[in-house]
Amino acid sequence: MAAMVSQRCAVFARSVSRMNVLCASRAASTGANDGGNYHHPTGGHLTMGGAAKQMSAADIKKIPDDEVKKSVFISQSNDVFTNLALEDWIYKNFDLTHHHILMLWINRPSVVVGRHQNPFSETNVAALARNGIELARRNSGGGAVYHDPGNLNCTFFMPRARYDRKYNLNLVTRALYREYGISAELTDRDDIVLLGKKVSGTAAKLGQPNAYHHCTLLVNSNKLHLGASLAKDNVEITSKATASIPSPIKNLVDVNRSVNIQQLLSAVGYEFLRTPATQLTDGGRELLMKQRGFQLINPTDKWFPGISELRENFASWDWRFGKTPAFSVQKTIEMKSAANTSEQHPEMKVKVDVEKALIKEISLVLPNHEPIPVVSDMVGQPYDEDCFNGIVDALKGANTESMRHAMGL
Rama region for 181: left / alpha / beta (φ>0; ψ in -120 to 50; rest): left
**pTM (two decimals):** 0.86
What is the band of 18 on the pLDDT scale with cuts at 50, 70, 90?
A: very low
Tell me what pLDDT residue 260 has.
95
Give bridge partners of residue 329 from the DSSP assignment.
237, 352
Tell me what pLDDT residue 396 has.
80
What is the Cα–Cα distance from 35 to 171, expressed in whole angstroms? 25
Average pLDDT over residues 161-189: 97
What percentage of the chain exceeds 90 in pLDDT?
74
Residue 408 has pLDDT above 70, yes or no: no
For residue 319, report the phi and psi dihedrals to the nearest 5 degrees: -75, -50
Task: Tell me the per-residue pLDDT of 305-325, one tens digit each, with 9 for 90 and over.
Answer: 999 999 999 999 999 999 999
Other C-beta atoms closer than 10 Å to the C-beta of 25 total 11
Query: Among 59-73, 185-199, 307-321, 364-378, where is mean pLDDT lowest?
Result: 364-378
What is the band of 114 on the pLDDT scale with cuts at 50, 70, 90?
A: very high
Q: Residue 345 burial (CB < 10 Å; 0-12/13-18/19+)?
A: middle
CA 96, 97, 99, 101 torsion-angle sign: positive
Other C-beta atoms closer than 10 Å to the C-beta of 92 total 13
**Pairwise pLDDT comparison (396 vs 74), residue with the higher score:** 74
Task: Tell me the per-residue pLDDT of 325-374, one tens digit each, with 9 for 90 and over.
Answer: 999 999 998 766 555 555 656 678 999 999 999 999 999 988 877 888 98
> How far is C-alpha 314 from the chain's CA centre?
12
Task: Tell me the per-residue pLDDT of 219-273, one tens digit each, with 9 for 90 and over.
Answer: 999 999 999 999 988 899 999 999 999 899 999 999 999 999 999 999 999 999 9
Average pLDDT over residues 263-284: 97
What is the Cα–Cα distance from 188 to 202, expressed in whole angstroms? 12
Task: Tell me the per-residue pLDDT of 378-403, one tens digit each, with 9 for 90 and over.
Answer: 999 999 999 999 999 888 876 555 55
What is the band of 281 on the pLDDT scale with cuts at 50, 70, 90?
A: very high
CA angle, residues 93, 44, 81, in degrees to nearest 5: 50
Tell me what pLDDT residue 400 has.
57
